[in-house]
């Protein structure tokens, strides 16, 4: 199955705005959590059966609605109706294979981004879509499955009467974006460490497994780059947006995100280059090593060639080969052979062939 | 015949605006189909003999005129006269080898794009031109041959009293563009899956057929890139057009197309890179495999070289070679030879040459 | 002699605006042809001795003055005086090695472009300069030598009372530019066909001649790219010019040229890439082929090595080698040798080395 | 530990603006130094226990506060309160792994840059962060550890009643930026000299150590590029800033910095290219050298092959081999062997194989 | 010593604007030459002891002051005081290793460029700095050493009462820039010719010297590119400058320079590519040639292997080898050996291995 481009054939022939889940279902039941807070109060509840938002929220508080699992089209639709969202946005939430995007609507801002999941060291990384809907006094987030990526923010909401509780949903949006970009840095750093390890291993002792790893990480980095590069446009657009749902005091925080993202992309670029260099270096080390072996064998054989020739000479059956009748002929010849071998060895040493 | 650049020598010396078909005729007779619809009614008819549009349409309905087959210059001309189209546009419809383009005229918008056709797995992909003329209350589409690419849209027109029936020809135009871009994603995904398969095969067991496939897909991807990259300009221009024949409510839909196209181009870029890497990997795997063989053979030969030398020694005809007269000389020598071979094997093993 | 950069040492130390021909003279005598036309009348004459333009033209007709051969400085000067042209422009006409350029003067537009000449298949392509001076009611064109590139336009002027006879010199300028860009497409297509042929040949049966051809076409494409890329700026500038000598009704035609040029450049880019890939593929095919040969020879030799060793054993002169006295010793040994050879062959086959 | 991307996991879950040091502590105690000066007076003092800035400065003098060591969050916080600095800026000062950045605040300009430290030749270079806060009449600089990079400026402040004493903190800022860019040039020059040396060595006598050095410097250059490229944006922004704390008379000095930085980046680009070329050249030299050896050995062996064959012929035990009974048969054969060897040598010489 | 980046350590710790010569002194004494001219008169004098400019010039004439040799800081300073020049500019004149730059000051324009010096064919090219100060009625030029680069202009000033004598210092500035760009074209053309020669040589007969030349010219081209690329910004800026010291009638001449420079850079780009291709081609030719040799030797050896084996067979000492007693056994065997060799030769020929 193509990891780099996943088309949604399920949707063919449907009108734009049809709600169809096109990814791989990663959670049995969508998990819904509503957090409402203001400076003084915070309410955080898991909801089993989502019906309407009105019973859980009030207009003077910030509402954060988080849904883990986006395969349930009817749920998405209900939420869409509650918040009066465009069908286009709802469709994008369920189309998890698509490119990150950002769109301004009349009353809210819609953005999707990718989170990079790494399992154990052996597995491929996988990008998962996170969608944000930022309205006047609410923020809705959709993830493909429960994950801990937003937990630090939730903890901060709980633990302290800090800035986040005094500010609006735009600031919450910023802190969550910050989490997503942190995630990129973390994933890239982990891969980067492994790559720098491989580098040392390749120089010390090149092995075919390293080549496989090099190719593996080349794919990983191409995949991550493809997933996070569009985020650049999104962050840029968020920075440029002159919108009612982004408070002016949050703007400087948003600017900081660009720098974080650029750092991720710079590093990816460098690791890509390093892997290219590693491939060449590996290739060359292997070649050199093999050639050294061949050279040794060839030299070894070369030394015996004139000796065997000499033995052949005195194995001939001519009637008149005077040397054959010398008393010490045999020993003289053995001595000569040793001398020849020695001279050749010295010559090869001098030529630095050994 | 050059697939990457097809010049139309037929047209040399003709004034611009001469209607000459410059491609390869792919259909015996042009097939004409007129679909007129509004919110309540839909008429869909095949037309054998096209004379005039007036009998088939009415000004308060949307007219979609689709022609499959563009080799019949007189038909194109008649249509051009009916809709009062520029000769330049008509000429571009018949010049199927040209680059996708978009042009605003006074009363209509003219655009050409490429659809990618894939036959079976073995064949080359081929780009076919699709032309769009979007007027106030009509949309004309020209394809080189009948194909199913627009069928999903036609079905939607029939099946449901949905949005498409309530909107104008600009929305129809959008849904057809959407089909074209879907087509890109689909073709690229199919090629992508094959490439990712080849990747695994090359690592597992490199074979010359894979090399041919790698080169084949390199060409394919260059060809597809050439065909669809100009679409970027077209989509961008459609987005930017401030025109009477594109309704404001359709604009957000059009914006979505950019993202789809970028995804196609991103993926092509990655697959191009992967193929480049695959070429190197293949090259290297083949080289390594061959070298391993050569090394084995060389080691094999090397072991026999000193043994043969020893046999040569005792095949000499010196009168005084005392060993020859030892009772167990022969067996001692055979033992010695075995010992030498063993020592060499152990040495090579220890050196990791075997 | 450097084909990629030709400096005009003849001009060193001369003030800018000095009329000196710096190319290679390609025609004995400049050939002058004046074509004047309007909607109803056309006059076309070869002129032997150019003195003044006034006798040949009238202000209410379009005058097209074409000069083939630009080595005659005094002729260029006379024309310059007739039409009141800048010395800078005249200088550029004669400096045939320079980069295509466009310059707006008060009363006229001056542009130079390159035409690509291909002789037979074996020869290098050569770029020749074409200069255009587009005034209010005249167009002057200079070519380095007589060629048929503008003939289609001339024929059109003659044959038909078409659009070209109703429009001004700006439209004539457009049709000639169209000829030049057609010329690019034609040359690139011819080269492209050959490259696609080579591609098939390299895969089928790599030969050194192909390598030479690959390198040859690499140079050609670099040369063509260098010659036609600056045309992009020129076409762009022509499109953007808001000038009195370019009629508004001609503008859409000019826009079409950009698309033609982009197609040429796209194709060159692709052919460049293909040639790079071909080089690698050729390199690898040759290597593989040679290595297969070496492997065969090595295997062949390897099979004989233990056999020769055995023969050596029984050629030894030990007094006590019991096998030598067996009645069928010789035949047993021959059988053993055959068996050894067979086992090795089977082993190599099984290892897929043969 | 990843050198190219260092993530700060310590900060996870903390709100933006939390003061946490994320680097490696490089100094036991932060060293604080306050320099206040105007045209006539200069005071320079080391401060053990920083409490408040007011006792050390006066509003009509320029204050330069330099802190070496940024791990002490409480100190940073105190300074932030003294100068009324944003938490965002303070956080960036302690986050030493982040990308260089510049931010305009209401009352001050905040910028971070990297200084490149090289230990001895063997060690990796390491980038250290320098932060600048430029206010109306003060400049605060933070370095990760004491270093001599700003010493030239301090000396200038002391030694002479020059321009620097007459100008404001913006000019001081400029001279310090100048130091940082000088540092780049110096580091790159040192690396460049070594690279140009390696180049000569590789051509003269390729050795594996050189390959390691080539790979080492490739990494170094990637690392330096990553560290200093963002400075481009910073210098550009400083040039464009229309701010109250940058005096107009300082502006031309700032413009000069761009040129210095471009020179650094140009050189890095060239050295990167040279190292790539060197890698290929090394690879090829090694290959050529080895192949020459193999060719020699092969030729040597080849000469003995027909001779050994001849010896084998006359070692056969046929009853009737007339040559064996010739009186001078043995000597004739030896002569023949010598002749054959000679002919082969001459042939190989003529073919230029030796 | 690093040729690509030359840092000026002499200046460390000095304030910006310190006059210190940082290059390599190339002339014993600075040579000063003042040329004053107007339409009717021209005075040209060498000055031994420069004190003041006033005695040599008058305000209604154009003054061209040329200084060859920039190591004498006190001279530079005196000139700076005479013309009221900024210290920054004077500093740049003496800092000969820096990047070409242009700066507008209140009363004059300051620009530095590089001239490329080539000695004989064997030597590296070296860039030398030329500085221009263009004021209202004067032009000052500084070169590192006397060279003939400006001589054509001086001759023109002398010889003819041409345009240059009627125009101001801005036109003189233009003609000198023209000289500098001519110099680029000339150097690149000379290198280009040599590269195109090498190309033919490599194809005809690859030799190690060619490889060295290829690497040599790669460096040269990198060096030239680094030296002249910044000129692009300078020419662009000169074109865009809306300044009192550049007359409007000179502007079109300046525009022409861009085209010249682009041609230089285009050609450098192409030659860079050609050298890269040449490297690959050389590499491959050498490899192919060597491999052909090895193949020949291997085939030669392979033919003898079965023959030697046969000789070994009949050298065995079995009591019962019937063939040994056949009368013509020896001759039959020799014939058989000849036949085997022949069959192998034919087989190898048929396989196209020879």
Rg (alpha carbons) of chain B, rounded to whole number: 35
Query: In the prediction, which pLDDT does E111 show?
Result: 92
Q: What is the pLDDT of residues E168-195, one digit of tens each?
A: 888 899 889 989 998 898 889 888 888 9
Which comes out higher in pLDDT, residue D3 or A79? A79
Mark yes or no for CB contact C203/B222 under 8 Å: no
| Residue A13 to chain B, least CA–CA distance (Å) | 4
DSSP-H helix ranges across chain C: 73-83, 87-94, 151-159, 163-166, 169-204, 208-240, 251-313, 329-350
Which chain D residues are Cβ-neighbours of A163 within 8 angstroms? 15, 17
Which chain A residues are Cβ-neighbours of D16 within 8 angstroms? 174-175, 178, 253, 256
Domain D287-350 has CATH 1.20.58.340: yes
CA distances from D244 to A102, A249, D109, D136, D239 (A): 36, 22, 10, 8, 13
Domain B290-350 has CATH 3.40.50.620: no
| Residue A249 to chain D, least CA–CA distance (Å) | 12
The pLDDT of B306-333, averaged and rounded, is 89
| Residue E314 to chain C, least CA–CA distance (Å) | 8
The pLDDT of D301-322, averaged and rounded, is 90
Q: Domain spans of chain B?
A: 9-284, 290-350
- CA torsion sign for E232, E234, E237, E243 is negative
Mark yes or no for CB contact A286/B288 under 8 Å: yes
Which comes out higher in pLDDT, residue B124 or E71? E71
- CATH code for the part of the protein at A14-284: 3.30.460.20
Under 8 Å CB pairs connecting chains A and B tally to: 143
Query: In the prediction, which pLDDT does B124 show?
Result: 78
Q: What is the pLDDT of residues C16-68, one digit of tens each?
A: 667 777 777 777 888 999 999 888 888 888 887 777 766 667 778 899 999 99
Query: In the prediction, which pLDDT does E275 show?
Result: 92
DSSP A11: G
Q: What is the pLDDT of residues D74-103, one digit of tens each?
A: 899 989 988 888 888 888 888 888 888 888
Mark yes or no for CB contact D222/A273 under 8 Å: yes
Q: How far is CA D25 from the centre of its chain?
A: 22
Distance of alpha carbon B47 from alpha carbon B59, whole angstroms: 19
Mark yes or no for CB contact A312/D317 under 8 Å: no
Other chains touching C, judged by 3 or more CB pairs under 8 Å? B, E
- Give the pLDDT band (50/70/90) at residue C308: very high
Q: What is the pLDDT of residues D195-250, one digit of tens each?
A: 988 988 888 888 888 888 898 899 889 889 888 888 888 887 777 766 666 777 77
Measure CB to CB from residue E271 to each of C4, C311, C314 and give the nearest one. C4
Measure CB to CB from residue B152 to each of A12, A297, A308 and give the nearest one. A12
| pLDDT surpasses 90 at C237 | no
Which comes out higher in pLDDT, residue E96 or B251? E96
Chosen for mutation from A176, A189, A300 (greatest number of chain D CBs closer than 10 Å) is A189
Give the SS3 label for residue C38: coil
- Give the pLDDT band (50/70/90) at residue B292: confident
- pTM for this one? 0.81
Mark yes or no for CB contact D178/E286 under 8 Å: no
Query: In the prediction, which pLDDT does D92 show?
Result: 86
Owner of token pair 């005729």: B25
Consecutive H or E run containing E333: helix E329-350
Name the burial class of residue D84, with classes exposed (0-12), middle (13-18) and buried (19+) by CB atoms within 10 angstroms of its CB: exposed
CA distances from D352 to A142, E205, E290 (A): 74, 12, 11
The pLDDT of A128-134, averaged and rounded, is 93
Mark yes or no for CB contact B262/A99 under 8 Å: yes
Q: What is the pLDDT of residues E230-266, one digit of tens each?
A: 888 888 777 776 666 677 777 667 767 888 888 889 8
Q: Which two tokens stand for residue B320?
A: 């005084």
Query: In the prediction, which pLDDT does C344 show?
Result: 93
Considering A119-133, C279-293, E133-147, the range whose residues carry the highest mean pLDDT is E133-147
Mark yes or no for CB contact B12/C182 under 8 Å: yes
Q: What is the mean pLDDT of chain A?
A: 84
Query: In the prediction, which pLDDT does A275 show?
Result: 92
Question: Which CATH class, in words, describes the domain spanning E16-284?
Answer: alpha beta
Would you give the end-to-end CA distance of chain A in angstroms? 51
Query: What residue of D is the nearest CA neighbor of E319?
Result: D317
Is A293:D307 a contact under the CB 8 Å cutoff? no
Is A35:A44 a contact under the CB 8 Å cutoff? yes
| pLDDT surpasses 70 at A243 | no
| pLDDT surpasses 50 at A1 | no
Measure CB to CB from residue D307 to each of A260, A287, A309 and give the nearest one. A309
User: Which stretch of B134-138, B254-258, D37-41, E155-159 has the lowest confidence by average pLDDT?
Assistant: B254-258
Query: In the prediction, which pLDDT does E245 show?
Result: 64
Other chains touching D, judged by 3 or more CB pairs under 8 Å? A, E
The pLDDT of A80-109, averaged and rounded, is 86
Which chain E residues are Cβ-neighbours of D185 within 8 angstroms? 5, 7
| pLDDT surpasses 70 at D346 | yes
Query: In the prediction, which pLDDT does D1 show?
Result: 44
Per CATH, the homologous superfamily of domain C291-350 is: Magnesium transport protein CorA, transmembrane region (1.20.58.340)
The pLDDT of C149-168, averaged and rounded, is 81
Query: What residue of C is the nearest CA neighbor of B13?
Result: C152
Q: What is the pLDDT of residues B83-93, one digit of tens each?
A: 888 888 888 88
Measure CB to CB from residue A295 to each of D13, D103, D290 and give the nearest one. D290
Give the SS3 label for residue B234: helix
Distance of alpha carbon E85 from alpha carbon E176, whole angstroms: 21
Considering A313-317, B102-106, C342-346, E285-289, the range whose residues carry the highest mean pLDDT is C342-346
Mark yes or no for CB contact D324/A312 under 8 Å: no
Under 8 Å CB pairs connecting chains B and C tally to: 144
Under 8 Å CB pairs connecting chains C and E tally to: 144
Query: In the prediction, which pLDDT does E338 show?
Result: 94
Query: In the prediction, which pLDDT does C14 show?
Result: 65
Question: Which CATH class, in words, describes the domain spanning E288-350?
Answer: mainly alpha
Query: What residue of C is the nearest CA neighbor of E174?
Result: C16
Q: What is the pLDDT of residues C109-148, one digit of tens each?
A: 899 999 998 765 556 788 899 999 998 889 999 999 888 8
- CA torsion sign for C206, C211, C213, C214 is positive
Closest CA to D150 of D134, D174, D126, D168: D174
Q: Is this complex scored with an ipTM above 0.90? A: no
Measure CB to CB from residue E311 to each of D259, D313, D353 and give the nearest one. D313
The residues, any chain, with a CB within 8 Å of residue B219's CB and separated by 6 or more, are B124, C274
| pLDDT surpasses 50 at C1 | no
Query: In the prediction, which pLDDT does C341 show?
Result: 94
Query: In the prediction, which pLDDT does E1 show?
Result: 44
Per CATH, the homologous superfamily of domain B9-284 is: CorA soluble domain-like (3.30.460.20)
| Residue C153 to chain E, least CA–CA distance (Å) | 30
| Angle at alpha carbon of residue A38, lines to A35 and A43, rounded to 5° | 30
Which chain C residues are Cβ-neighbours of B307 within 8 angstroms? 309
Measure CB to CB from residue A315 to each of B267, B294, B316 and give the nearest one. B316
Distance of alpha carbon A148 from alpha carbon E211, whole angstroms: 58
| Residue A312 to chain D, least CA–CA distance (Å) | 5
Mark yes or no for CB contact D226/A320 under 8 Å: no
Q: What is the mean pLDDT of chain B?
A: 84
User: Which stretch of A166-175, A233-242, B143-152 has the lowest confidence by average pLDDT?
Assistant: A233-242
Q: What is the pLDDT of residues B190-202, one digit of tens each?
A: 888 889 889 888 8
Q: What is the pLDDT of residues D138-185, one digit of tens each?
A: 999 999 988 888 988 888 888 756 778 888 888 899 889 989 998 898
Query: What residue of E is the nearest CA neighbor of C297?
Result: E302
Per CATH, the homologous superfamily of domain D17-284 is: CorA soluble domain-like (3.30.460.20)
Owner of token pair 């792919």: B26
| pLDDT surpasses 90 at C235 | no
Share of chain E above pLDDT 90, in %: 22
Q: Are strands D138-143 and D62-68 parallel, antiparallel or unpaired?
A: parallel
Query: In the prediction, which pLDDT does D3 show?
Result: 67
The pLDDT of C241-265, averaged and rounded, is 74
| Residue D187: φ, ψ to 5° | -65, -45
Query: What residue of D is the nearest CA neighbor of A160?
Result: D15
Mark yes or no for CB contact D252/E215 under 8 Å: no
Q: What is the pLDDT of residues B270-284, one digit of tens each?
A: 899 999 999 998 988
Mark yes or no for CB contact D152/E12 under 8 Å: yes
Mark yes or no for CB contact D318/E324 under 8 Å: yes
- Give the pLDDT band (50/70/90) at residue D111: very high
Mark yes or no for CB contact B263/A98 under 8 Å: yes
Distance of alpha carbon D33 from alpha carbon D53, whole angstroms: 11
């Amino acid at each position: 199955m193509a990891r780099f481009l996943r088309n949604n054939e399920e949707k063919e022939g449907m009108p734009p705005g049809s709600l169809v889940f096109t990814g791989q279902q990663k959670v049995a039941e969508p998990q819904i959590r509503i957090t409402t807070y203001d400076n003084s109060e915070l309410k955080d509840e898991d909801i089993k059966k989502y019906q309407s938002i009105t019973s859980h929220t009030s207009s003077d508080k910030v509402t954060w609605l988080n849904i883990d699992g986006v395969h349930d089209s009817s749920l998405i639709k209900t939420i869409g109706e509650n918040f009066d969202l465009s069908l286009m946005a709802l469709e994008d939430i369920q189309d998890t294979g698509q490119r990150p995007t950002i769109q301004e609507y009349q009353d809210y801002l819609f953005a999707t981004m990718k989170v990079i999941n790494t399992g154990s060291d052996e597995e491929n990384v996988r990008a998962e879509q996170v969608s944000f809907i930022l309205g006047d006094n609410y923020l809705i987030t959709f993830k493909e499955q429960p994950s801990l990526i937003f937990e630090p923010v939730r903890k901060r909401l709980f633990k302290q009467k800090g800035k986040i509780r005094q500010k609006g949903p735009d600031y919450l949006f910023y802190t969550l974006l910050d989490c997503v970009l942190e995630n990129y840095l973390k994933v890239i750093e982990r891969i980067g460490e492994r790559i720098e390890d491989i580098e040392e291993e390749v120089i010390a002792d090149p092995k075919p497994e390293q080549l496989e790893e090099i190719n593996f990480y080349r794919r990983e980095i191409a995949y991550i780059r493809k997933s996070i590069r569009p985020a650049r446009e999104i962050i840029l657009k968020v920075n440029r947006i002159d919108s009612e749902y982004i408070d002016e005091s949050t703007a400087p925080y948003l600017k900081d995100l660009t720098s974080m993202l650029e750092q991720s992309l710079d590093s990816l670029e460098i690791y890509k280059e390093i892997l290219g260099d590693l491939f060449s270096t590996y290739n060359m080390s292997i070649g050199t090593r093999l050639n050294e072996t061949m050279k040794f064998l060839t030299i070894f054989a070369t030394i015996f060639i004139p000796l065997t020739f000499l033995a052949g000479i005195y194995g001939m059956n001519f009637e008149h080969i005077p040397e054959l009748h010398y008393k010490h002929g045999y020993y003289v010849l053995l001595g000569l052979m040793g001398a020849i071998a020695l001279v050749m060895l010295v010559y090869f040493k001098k030529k630095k062939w050994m």
